[in-house]
């Protein structure tokens, strides 16, 4: 049994059922290497935590932004609970130090680890909900995640940059942007891509990311900045 006492101090949530807390940090790959029947992976808790997280975030955004319609609120929620944001929050909480992974997964510190951490955050929310109830889950999510939304809204990170740059380029220039991979480095499990965005033959900007899609979004956002199309 892992000693979670330091983590419990940090989160100010002391579990009644320590096995439930431990389960939140067990990845499926660990079970595959350590089958014995005593432990279960965290995917059921993740399923529950995802639903609890969505309800709490939806309620929060509904009350925080009374003048926004459902489309805007949905975009805000998607931006706040995406895997990158939640993975960063989980890392800042020290969740990475308690993960139980297979030897192979333990070596991977790239995008896949961020995704695992995001899932662990959701599993932990599920565990908190079962062990402590809704109000404690709400307090945890409020303290760890709600603070991210102001920057998301202020910097308009909730908008899909590729869709917006296409809309603006067609409106102002009558061209459709295209994207080209300029460089990719790193092993298969932790690739880094550099993608250029072009208006016709003119390269407007470059973006980097751990996937082509992520790099394209980065390039699109930089193109919006270059053209001063971010209102």
Active site (annotated) includes residue 188:
no
Interhelix angle 43-64/70-80, nearest 10 degrees? 130
Catalytic residue among 22, 46, 105, 122: 122
3 annotated active-site: no
Q: CA-CA distances (angstroms) from residue 22 to 58, 150, 151, 182, 201?
A: 28, 32, 33, 43, 54
In the block, residue with structure tokens 């053209």 = 227
Catalytic residue among 50, 72, 190, 214: 50
The three-class DSSP label of residue 188 is helix
SS3 string, 168-190, reads HHHHHCCCCCEEEEEEEECCHHH
How far apart, in whole angstroms, are the C-alpha atoms of residue 124 and residue 89?
12
Contact 43, 24 (CB under 8 A): no
Q: What spatial distance separates the first Cα and last Cα of the chain, rounded to whole Å?
A: 52
Task: Give the integer Cα–Cα distance in Å for 23 and 30.
Answer: 11
Q: Are 77 and 61 contacting, i.e. CB atoms less than 8 angstroms apart? A: yes
Q: Are 2 and 19 in contact (CB under 8 A)?
A: no
Catalytic residues, by residue number, are 50, 122
């Amino acid at each position: 049994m892992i000693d979670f006492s330091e983590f419990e101090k940090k989160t100010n949530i002391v579990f009644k059922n320590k096995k439930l807390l431990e389960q939140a940090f067990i990845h499926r790959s660990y079970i595959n290497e350590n089958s014995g029947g005593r432990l279960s992976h965290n995917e059921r808790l993740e399923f529950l935590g995802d639903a609890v997280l969505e309800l709490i975030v939806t309620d929060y955004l509904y009350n925080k932004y009374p003048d926004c319609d459902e489309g805007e609120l949905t975009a805000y929620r998607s931006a706040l609970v995406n895997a990158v944001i939640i993975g960063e929050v989980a890392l800042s909480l020290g969740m990475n130090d308690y993960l139980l992974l297979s030897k192979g997964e333990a070596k991977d510190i790239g995008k896949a680890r961020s995704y695992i951490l995001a899932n662990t955050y959701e599993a932990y929310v599920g565990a908190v909900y079962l062990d402590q109830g809704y109000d404690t889950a709400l307090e945890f999510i409020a303290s760890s995640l709600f603070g991210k939304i102001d920057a998301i809204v202020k910097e308009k990170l909730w908008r899909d940059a590729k869709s917006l740059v296409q809309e603006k380029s067609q409106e102002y220039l009558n061209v459709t942007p295209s994207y080209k991979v300029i460089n990719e480095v790193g092993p298969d499990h932790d690739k880094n891509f550099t993608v250029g965005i072009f208006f016709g033959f003119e390269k407007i900007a470059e973006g980097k990311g751990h996937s082509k899609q992520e790099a394209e979004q980065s390039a699109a956002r930089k193109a919006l900045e270059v053209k001063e199309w971010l209102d």
